[in-house]
């Protein structure tokens, strides 16, 4: 497995502001993903963070709202922009080891007030 | 599009009984099926997985079965214990490579309660 550090672990933000979440892995990984988990719900993939190129976004998610950076094989950031209360959720980064197994960071619990 | 259906949404069993959670997937190209356990306030943890070339896999009290023809797979927990209480998620994935990113599509989750 890999050690995945995600920060902040939680934050309370004012609507209209932006928050950047960081994900650091202790080894180089090819694939990094960002998920959203709304209260009491399942995990929904936001995007695949691609090293050296633009992220690949899933239907319903756009770069202007969720810009993602992936400057190297161990680090990625997700920004939640122009936040509204509907963005209150847990955001999780995930890394894929080998060809299949995926492991998660501890998550960022975001509350927008 | 890709979809994974998971049932039941909640499951309550007595300690020592067995629990079964079932998932159905839509993408016939899926060939990897992990199960995650998420305790309250914690990250999802991989507990067992199965690949499409295998019909069943066991790890102590947990087992997973896969029926590729019917496109469904199940998690079986035997001799349940209170610490098994959590939310369980199934997922399906196309193997990474050949243009596939290896993204996971998750089921809706099952809240398992094991009563002492």
Asked if the C-beta of B73 comes within 8 angstroms of chain A's C-beta atoms, the answer is no
Asked if the C-beta of B95 comes within 8 angstroms of chain A's C-beta atoms, the answer is yes
Measure the CA–CA gap between B27 and B24, rounded to whole angstroms.
10
Instruction: Tell me the average pLDDT across A2-22.
Output: 96
CA nearest to A99, candidates B38, B46, B51: B51
φ/ψ region of A46 (left if φ > 0, alpha if ψ in -120 to 50, else beta) reads alpha
Instruction: Tell me the average pLDDT across B20-41.
Output: 94
Cis peptide before B93 (omega within 30 of 0): no
Read off the pLDDT band of B105 (50, 70, 90). very high
User: Average per-residue pLDDT in chain A?
Assistant: 93
Measure the CA–CA gap between A1 and A12, rounded to whole angstroms.
31
Residues contacting residue B60 through CB under 8 Å, at least 6 positions apart:
none
Read off the pLDDT band of B96 (50, 70, 90). low
Question: Beta strands of A1-113 (E only): which ranges?
Answer: 4-7, 10-13, 19-25, 31-37, 43-49, 56-57, 68-72, 75-80, 89-96, 102-104, 108-112
A chain contacts of residue B43, beta-carbon cutoff 8 Å: 92, 104-107
Q: How many CA atoms lie within 13 A of B30 on its CB side?
A: 31
Q: With beta carbons less than 8 A apart as the criterion, state whether A30 and A99 touch.
A: no
Chain position carrying tokens 């309250």: B40
Residue B114 has pLDDT above 80, yes or no: yes
Asked if the C-beta of B55 comes within 8 angstroms of chain A's C-beta atoms, the answer is no
Read off the pLDDT band of A101 (50, 70, 90). confident
* The pLDDT of residue B59: 94
- Please indicate whether, in this complex, the C-beta atoms of A96 and B32 are within 8 angstroms of each other: no
* The pLDDT of residue A53: 84
Read off the pLDDT band of B97 (50, 70, 90). low
């Amino acid at each position: 497995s890999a050690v995945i550090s995600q920060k902040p672990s939680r934050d309370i933000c004012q609507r209209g502001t932006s928050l950047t979440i960081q994900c650091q892995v202790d080894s180089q990984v090819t694939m990094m993903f960002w998920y959203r988990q709304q209260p009491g719900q399942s995990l929904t993939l936001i995007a695949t963070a691609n090293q050296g190129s633009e992220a690949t976004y899933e239907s319903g998610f756009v770069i202007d709202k969720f810009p993602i950076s992936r400057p190297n094989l161990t680090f990625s950031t997700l920004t939640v922009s122009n936040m509204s209360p509907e963005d209150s959720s847990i955001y999780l980064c995930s890394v894929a080891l080998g060809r299949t197994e995926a492991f998660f960071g501890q998550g960022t619990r975001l509350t927008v007030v | 599009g890709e979809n994974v259906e998971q049932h039941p949404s909640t499951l309550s069993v007595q300690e020592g009984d067995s629990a079964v959670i079932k998932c159905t997937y839509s993408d016939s190209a899926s060939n990897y099926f992990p199960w995650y356990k998420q305790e309250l306030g914690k990250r999802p943890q991989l507990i067992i997985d199965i690949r499409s070339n295998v019909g069943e896999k066991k790890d102590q009290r947990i087992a997973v079965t896969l029926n590729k023809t019917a496109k469904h797979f199940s998690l079986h927990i035997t001799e349940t214990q209170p610490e098994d209480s959590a939310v369980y998620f199934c997922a399906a994935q196309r193997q990474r490579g050949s243009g596939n990113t290896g993204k996971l599509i998750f089921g809706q989750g099952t809240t398992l309660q094991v009563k002492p």
